[in-house]
A and B are shown apart, each in its own frame.
Chain A
Amino acid sequence: MINLPENELTVAFSASETTVLSQPNFWRRAGRSLLHDPVALCSFAFILLLTVVAVFAPLIAPYDPLRQFSNGLSFVGAPVAPNGHFLLGTDASGRDVLSRLIFGARVSLLVGVVATGLASLIGVVIGTVAGYVGGVTESILMRFTDMVLSFPILLFCVALIAVTGPSTRNVVLVIAFAYWTYLARVVRGQVLSIKEREFVNAARTLGVGHIKIIRKHIIPHLIPTIIVYGTLGVATSILIEASLSFLGIGVPLPQASWGEMISEGQQYFQSAPWLLVAPGVALILTVLAFNLAGDWLTDLLDPAVQEMGS
């Protein structure tokens, strides 16, 4: 059987990797590479900024994101355009768009990071067990992965939310449950090649236990992959969260989230385009930053890909 996406990924992250994270000059090399790559530098700076904004949202936001200002609506009851008082204008309920945007960053980052973390955990465990143990266990785990992968990811999330009910926790769980499959496949492919390497054989010959071999000789070699897929996964998770919120089944109201803001703004876009532009740009920049950071990490951590890309 051929599975194209899987082959694709195994090629991209072949085990011929020579990167050693604990290598003394690794961090220096990483730093130098970052300084020579303004795009990546900007991406990391943006992610850092976003994190600060999200963590300190109550201190940074000019207003309470839920407060409906009496002067937040024009005399015909329409949203107010950006002005000195409301820097990014107000929405249809007279709430400050900038403050909602800042609190929305919290939701996006939280959901993105937690969902990806959870997905990585599941993916790494299942992929490692499948690749290391092999045989029937591998067949069962990978067929199960195939089945979950057969559902279109967004529709799958939407349907799962529909049966479990919308809540922030469920959004995180559902995204994690849909995304782990990608990592599981890649990790399995890598474990298959790592476990054939001589140092694993050497450890087995010494009589080192399987658990310890996995912990000491396999997992450390997966870290570059996990970092790269984790970064790209945050981008994907943020997009899915925004899509779910846009469809009205994401993070529950009245909590501000970018997807929900776009969804609300949709009705007023003819008269109040800033309602679409602000959250849209925030979303694009965030996802873009994570994608670019992921690209840079791929180049840094995997010479095989670097070779291909240059």
Chain B
Amino acid sequence: MSFTLQPGETLGIAGESGSGKSSVARALVQLTRPTGGTVSLGGAPVTNLKGQRLKRFRRRMQMVYQDPYDSLDPRMSVSDAIGEALSVRGLPKTEHAAQVAQLLERVKLPATIAQRHPNQLSGGQRQRVSIARALAVNPEIIICDEAVAALDVSIRAQVLNLLKDIQHDTGVGYLFISHDLSTLRFMADHVAIMYVGRIVEYGTSEEVFSNPQHPYTRALIAAVPSVTRRGERRLKLSGEPPDPGNPPSGCPFHPRCPEAVETCRTERPELLTIGDAQKVACHVVQWGREKTPKTEVTA
């Protein structure tokens, strides 16, 4: 799979649990080695880095994790957690306190919480600390892996707005991974819909959400409860997503797809451009239109 992320832009990745979203995140920050494919940052490949070069790379891409109760070490105070990141950046200890205060202000937390431990913070506060820690090394990209999924709806909005503000000020790029389409619609400039480790649809947020093409995307969007679309015939998703280690033949979605035809069982559809930037991997959609020449989405 491949996708591109421009500086200062947000790319949303959507999909059900088990679609491989988190594996992508982990492979990108090289917690795990991807089974294939390459990651390039600023034009230079960054896969299979080792030692010092890996360390230098890591600072450029940071991550905010899903579970606010597990992503901060319960034995470290807020200032120690952020200070650890500052040490990595090579900032002398004497300047830590000032920087910590600045970063906390940046994520709109009172400076007084610096001495607190994670178990004395709320979920939203923890996520803000996580964001501050990620920002401490001045990354170019922050991967948010279901970063707001565990938060209450009201707090979720605050954190999302905070992330937008930070992007506006610093020009950091986000890779926003979520199963929640409304969050993505709010956050993302471009959206990639994933199914079993592959992108099945890609486009600008506007294109994908107002004009979804892939049956899977349509089913996902239809599954979002909505007041306005009441009574509309809904596309229902039945069954479970397949085991990513053992995907079905042909189009991986065919066992659950209401529109599947024989070809879907045998041939895997490629991701082809159908609109301005919109790309879909679906035989049925592609036949509906005239087959356009192959264009790869490159990283």
Contacts and interface: CB of A to CB of B under 8 A. Distances in A.
Contact of B59 (A20, A22, A199, A206): A206
A207 interface: yes
Interface in A228-277: none
Nearest to A201: B31
Given A20-B117, A197-B70, A198-B65, A205 B29 contact: yes
Nearest to A223: B75
A217 B73 contact: yes
Interface string A198-214: 11011111111100000
A202 B71 contact: yes
Interface in B31-65: 31, 54-56, 58-59, 61-63, 65
User: Number of contact residues on B: which range applies?
Assistant: 20 to 34
Interface string A174-209: 000000000000000000000001110111111111
Contacts, number: 69
B86 to A, nearest CB: 10
B88 interface: yes
Contact of A216 (B26, B31, B56, B84): B84
User: Number of contact residues on A: which range applies?
Assistant: 20 to 34
Contacts of A207: 54-56, 58-59, 88, 137
A5 interface: no
Interface string A5-38: 0000000000000101111000000000000000
A23 B117 contact: yes
A220 interface: yes
A201 B65 contact: yes
Contacts of A217: 73, 75-76
B59 to A, nearest CB: 6
B250 interface: no
A221 interface: yes
Interface of A: 18, 20-23, 197-199, 201-209, 216-217, 220-221
